[in-house]
Amino acid sequence: MLTILITVPWVLTVASLLYIILKRSTVSVDDEYESMDLEEDEERHIIRAAIYDTKAFWVHDNIFYESDVTREPDWSTARPIDTMKLSEKSLSNLLKILDDLKKSEMEQ
């Protein structure tokens, strides 16, 4: 009786693990990537960037970002701005940029 009580949970566990392994092996890698395709994403966002000198600034998901600019914003160098560590003058400049971004959005 004791061997049945030990064997049944072990057999059920092994069977469920084998099912999971076999099911995952039948799904191709291409199928997984197709479900993550960004072009099929129904939520598309238009991001307006303000370019000043060699920096681009924009807001996305309530986070203020900056990046370097060559001919257009370099998205690979994007980094969030920590406004708590800015001087008063820098913060004032960023608020002016934010106002400019809001004005351009309202004009559209």
Q: How do strand 55-60 and strand 50-52 relate by DSSP bridges?
A: antiparallel
Lowest mean pLDDT among 10-19, 24-33, 67-76: 24-33
Residue 26 is given by DSSP the state H
Which pLDDT tens digit goes with each residue over 71-102? 888 888 888 988 888 899 988 988 888 888 88
Which pLDDT tens digit goes with each residue over 48-71? 888 888 888 888 888 888 998 888
The CA angle 46-32-77, to the nearest 5 degrees, is: 40
What is the pTM assigned to this prediction? 0.53
